[in-house]
Amino acid sequence: MASEDSAEEKVISMLNYLDVGKGEEIVFIHGLGNRIQAWAPQLELTSQYRLIIIELRGHGHSPEKENIQVEFFAKDIIEVLDYLNIDKAHFVGLSLGGIVALEICKRFKNRVKSLILCNTTYYIPTLFGNITLEKTKRLMKETSLDHLNDRLIKKCLYNPEEKKVYELAKNAFYIREDTYLQSVQSAFGRNYFYDLLTIDVPTLIIASLHDKVVPIHNAYLMHYMIRSSNLIIFENTGHLSNIERPELFNLAISRHIQEYRNKVS
């Protein structure tokens, strides 16, 4: 975890992160309202890779409450990599984390070995976002955070009655009242449509047939626009593919990185 024992470390003390495992570095970027525990099923990969699991500002135990925006998420992550002396890495982003990964590829392409974009999109229209924001504000006034958390989890999962999966998802979410609304609107209006055409690093797109949060057509379009991409679609899976299908998800990551190694060797 980042500490505040020196001036150098204070540069990244705003972020809470986990650095575990040995091998090629993979950076994991969680979705809206999530925290480090969202990637618990991926800890099995530590036998093969070094995992850098980051909590975005305004999320989990990362204390920063200002500038809750995608460009700052991206800069923060690069600062963590600088501190850890990691020049390049593979980036895995789910939902909002996928948008952050696209921002990193846009601004810091020289730091990206490959992308794995999961249950995400390239564009959240401002109008649609504002409708979502107003609905969220109303729910936060009318109900408890625990109830809101439960509603979000049930919307995200294909089968919320599957107890083990539900508990993993529940542990992944950590809604902070002080920053959640800022986080909801952090990506509104950002359009990476034309940026997709410029992505030339190996890219894996993971989508779910029954994702009620990010419709699957987003994945098809990204796959079409990113020339160096592959697309995997999980059936009987909702928005949290890494939690709902951990074995398939982890296998997809390992195969993607092995393909990358084969190309560069």
Question: What residues make up the domain containing 36?
Answer: 7-264
Q: What angle in degrees, to the nearest 10, is found between the helix axes of 96-107 and 70-83?
A: 70
Positive or negative, the Cα torsion across 1, 261, 263, 29? negative
CA distances from 121 to 86, 113, 205, 213, 263 (A): 27, 20, 10, 10, 27
- Give the C-alpha separation, 13 to 133, whole Å: 29
* The pair of three-digit structure tokens given for residue 175, joined into one six-digit string: 């809604």
Within a domain: 190: yes
pLDDT digits (tens, 9 = 90+) for 2-48: 433 333 333 345 689 999 999 999 999 999 999 999 999 999 999 99
Within a domain: 233: yes
Helices (H), 143-162: 145-156
Within a domain: 86: yes
- Give the C-alpha separation, 86 to 28, whole Å: 14
Within a domain: 247: yes
- Give the C-alpha separation, 153 to 173, whole Å: 8
Within a domain: 1: no
Backbone angles phi, psi at 236, to 5 degrees: 50, 45
pTM equals 0.93
Percent of the chain that is helix, strand, coil (3-state, to 5): 45, 20, 35
- Give the C-alpha separation, 129 to 176, whole Å: 19
pLDDT of residue 139: 86
pLDDT of residue 126: 78
What does the pLDDT profile of the chain (265 residues) look like in tens digits? 543 333 333 334 568 999 999 999 999 999 999 999 999 999 999 999 999 999 999 999 998 778 999 999 999 999 999 999 999 999 999 999 999 999 999 999 999 999 999 999 999 887 777 888 888 888 888 888 889 899 999 999 999 999 999 999 999 999 888 888 888 888 888 899 999 999 999 999 999 999 999 999 999 999 999 998 999 999 999 999 999 999 999 999 999 999 999 988 7
Within a domain: 175: yes
Within a domain: 37: yes
pLDDT of residue 65: 78
- Give the C-alpha separation, 203 to 91, whole Å: 10
- The tally of domains found in the chain comes to 1
pLDDT of residue 14: 66
Query: Residue 33: CA atoms inside 13 Å, Cβ hemisphere, count?
Result: 22
Within a domain: 2: no
Which of 4, 8, 48, 7 has the alpha carbon at shortest distance from 26? 48
pLDDT digits (tens, 9 = 90+) for 220-249: 999 999 998 999 999 999 999 999 999 999
Which of 109, 100, 128, 122 has the alpha carbon at shortest distance from 207? 122
Given a contact cutoff of 8 angstroms between Cβ atoms, the answer to whether 260 and 114 are in contact is yes
Given a contact cutoff of 8 angstroms between Cβ atoms, the answer to whether 205 and 117 are in contact is yes
- The enclosing domain of 14 has a CATH number of 3.40.50.1820
